[in-house]
Structure 1
C-alpha cells in the first residue's frame, strides 16, 4: 500500500529526533565496547597502583574496583553532559539550516521512501537504507549508522503509522 504524510518540522521535532537517536546510539554495542575497554584499563591501572604500593591482594582488588568505578563514572558524566547539552546544540543547528524548516511530504510504497519539499526531492529504495527505529517522538529511518530521516509521530494517523511499519517490515528493512 502507498502512504504519505506532510509536515513542517519544528525545532522541537528536530531536537526530539536527535535526542532519540542519541539514546539509541548509547545502547549500541559499538558505543558500549569502548566504554567497557576504557573502564577495564582504569581497573588495570588501579590494580597496578595496588601492586606498586605492595598492598595485600584484597587492597589491590579494591584499587582495581576503584579504577573501574572511576572509569564508569567518568564516562557516565561525559555522556550525561552531552545529553543535557544536546537540545541547545540541536536547536542551534535547526535554526541555522533553513532547508529543514520547510514543508516536507514523505511517501512510501513497496518500492521505497520518497520525499519532496520546495528545496528538492529524492527517493530511497528500501535496499539502499540501513534500518529503522520507532521511538516515541519520531520514526527514524537510517541511511547509515548516523544519518537518518525523521518523521515525527505527531504527523501520523494510526492507519498511516501502521502502514509505514508494515511496509518497512515487508521490505525487510532491519530494526536498528
Structure 2
C-alpha cells in the first residue's frame, strides 16, 4: 500500500483548474466551433454583396470574425485572470482543502482522508484521469475532480504506479474519453 501526505495550496488548485481548462479546450465541440468560426470569417468576405444591401452586408460579413476574436480572445483572459481569481476564492471558501490530506492506495482502491472525512473508491469508480502541468486529476465526473500535485509524490515511480492502477482498471485518460466497457459483476 502506497501513502502520500499533502497540504494543498491555492496555487495547486489554480494549476489543477488550469489543467482542466486546457483539457476542455481540446474537446471536439470547442475545436469544431473555432474551426467553423474561422471558416466563416475567411469565407464570408469572398461572397459578393448586392449593391442595394451593401451597408448591411458590410456589417454581416464581419460578424463571424468578431465572434471568432471574442471566443479565441477570451481564452487567455480566462486562463490568466478568471481561473486564478476563482482558485483563490474557492480555496478560501473550502476549509477542507486547507488541511493536510493523506492518500493511500493499492491495486484495488484509492482512499483519501482529511481532518473532516474520508473517501474510499475503487479505481474503476473514477470517470477519467489526466496528467498535465504538474498535476494528476482524478475525475469523478466530467466536471468534478480531485487533484494531486506532482510535488506530493515521493517519487516518479509512485506517480506512475497510481496511473498504472487507473489504466489497469480501464479508466480512460480524460483527453481521449473513450467509452468504457461496462464492469462485469463480481
TM-score range, shorter chain: 0.7 to 0.9
CA RMSD of aligned residues (A): 3.0
Give CA-to-partner distance per residue, 1:18-54, whole Å, 9 cap, x none: 11111111111133344445x279659946x954546
The structure with the greater share of residues assigned to helix is: 1
1:52/1:41 CA distance change after superposition, 3 Å:
farther
Structure 2 equivalent of residue 158 of structure 1: 156
> Retained in 2: the 8 A contact 1:43–1:63?
no
Quick one: distance in 2 between partners of 1:35 and 1:16? 25
Question: Is the deviation greater in 4-13 or in 122-131?
Answer: 122-131
Question: Does 1:143 pair with 2:115?
Answer: no
Count of residues in correspondence between the two structures: 168
Q: Counterpart of 2:136 in 1: which secondary structure?
A: strand
Q: Counterpart of 2:173 in 1: which secondary structure?
A: coil
Name the TM-score, length of structure 2 as normaliser: 0.77
Q: Counterpart of 1:17 in 2: which secondary structure?
A: helix
Quick one: distance in 2 between partners of 1:148 and 1:46? 41
Structure 1 equivalent of residue 127 of structure 2: 130
> Retained in 1: the 8 A contact 2:109–2:121?
yes
Structure 2 equivalent of residue 71 of structure 1: 67
Extract unaligned runs of 5+ from structure 2.
175-186
Give CA-to-partner distance per residue, 1:92-151, whole Å, 9 cap, x none: 211121111111111222222211011100112222211101113210010111110000
> Retained in 1: the 8 A contact 2:124–2:166?
no
Extract unaligned runs of 5+ from structure 1.
56-61
Quick one: distance in 2 between partners of 1:104 and 1:154? 13
Question: Is the deviation greater in 143-152 or in 155-164?
Answer: 155-164
